[in-house]
């Protein structure tokens, strides 16, 4: 496991709302620098909302968000985009745009007014295409691709942005199990080999336990637990947060916590 250090990102007593609907109140979380962090919790608990606040897409009503101890509101847009990248849950590409052109848009924060495209930009795009296994699709229109292919293209665009902090909201959506593991292995490789801070919203508890160094567990917009998966992911927590009776045992291959669901304890709707 990566050594957990000072936070790369943190919220300090934030209140997060959409119009009159309050999602979280007095929420304080920390994302360790140089680690893989997974945000987990039941549906509609505030996972994606928290990620939007961490990326400045959503402004807290109260409290603050800090990027390396600096208030995120103080960064110029391009400066922030060179430091932090976000893959939202749902993204729509312009009609007719090719894969290579879409991935190339990830280079916008690095371009100067008098030098719109460089060899560094081209190299970053080619590396991102190769890392996500979509090089052969470079000339294809994005709308012709399958859901899984499109998801990998969006991840390639985020890779081309080449930021030290990367936020991915449900990056395994639409992917079959093999490509889910490919994406998670890629995220961990970027962390281990390049030192990038990775934050992933995940639904699969076993994948979160296997690939993350740090878990943030939310329920109803509140922080329930945070820390190493081996200490956080317990049968009691699964019951409290997910309303699920389960056994948590060591994974026979990786030794990480493995959740074996038994039965839901939630009241029928």
Pairing of strands 197-201, 165-169: parallel
Per-residue model confidence (pLDDT) at position 2:
43
Residues paired with 73 in a beta bridge:
none
Residue 89 is predicted with a pLDDT of: 83
What SS3 state is found at 24? strand
Is residue 181 classed as helix, strand or coil in its secondary structure?
A: helix
d(CA 171, CA 173): 6
Match 């990480």 to its residue by tokens.
Answer: 256
- CA dist 214 and 228 (Å) reads 5
Question: How is 101-116 classified by DSSP, letter by letter?
Answer: HHHHGGGGGG-BTTB-
Output the pLDDT for position 267: 64
- The CA-based angle 47-48-53, given to 5 degrees, is 100
pLDDT of residue 114: 61
pLDDT score of 118: 81
Model-level pTM? 0.90
Alpha carbons 55 and 165: distance in angstroms, whole number: 10
pLDDT tens per residue across all 269 residues of the chain: 444 567 999 999 999 999 889 999 999 999 999 999 999 999 999 999 999 999 999 999 999 999 999 999 999 999 999 999 999 987 888 899 999 999 999 998 877 766 677 888 899 999 999 988 899 999 999 999 988 899 889 999 999 999 999 999 999 988 889 989 988 999 999 999 989 999 999 999 999 999 999 999 999 999 999 999 999 999 999 999 999 999 999 999 999 999 999 998 866 65
Tokens of 159: 């890779």
Place of tokens 């109140």: 25
């Amino acid at each position: 496991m990566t050594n957990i250090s000072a936070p790369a990102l943190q919220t300090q007593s934030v209140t997060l709302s959409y119009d009159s609907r309050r999602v979280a109140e007095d929420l304080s979380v920390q994302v360790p620098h140089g680690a893989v962090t997974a945000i987990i919790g039941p549906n509609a608990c505030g996972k994606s909302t928290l990620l939007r606040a961490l990326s400045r897409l959503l402004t807290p009503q109260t409290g603050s968000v800090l990027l390396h101890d600096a208030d995120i509101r103080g960064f110029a847009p391009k400066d922030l985009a060179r430091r932090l990248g976000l893959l939202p849950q749902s993204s729509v590409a312009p009609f007719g745009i090719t894969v290579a052109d879409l991935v190339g848009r990830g280079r916008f924060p690095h371009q100067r007014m008098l030098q719109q495209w460089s060899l560094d930009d081209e190299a970053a795009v080619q590396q991102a295409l190769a890392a996500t296994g979509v090089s052969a699709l470079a000339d294809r229109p994005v709308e012709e691709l399958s859901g899984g292919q499109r998801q990998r293209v969006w991840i390639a665009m985020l890779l081309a942005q080449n930021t030290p902090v990367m936020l991915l909201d449900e990056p395994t959506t639409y992917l079959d199990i093999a490509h889910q593991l490919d994406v998670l292995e890629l995220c961990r490789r970027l962390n281990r080999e390049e030192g990038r801070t990775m934050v992933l919203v995940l639904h699969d508890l076993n994948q979160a336990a296997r690939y993350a160094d740090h878990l943030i567990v939310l329920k109803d917009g509140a922080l329930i637990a945070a820390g190493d998966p081996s200490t956080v992911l317990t049968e009691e927590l699964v019951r409290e947060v997910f309303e699920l009776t389960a056994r948590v045992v060591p994974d026979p291959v990786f030794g990480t916590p493995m959740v074996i669901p038994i039965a839901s304890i939630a009241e029928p709707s």
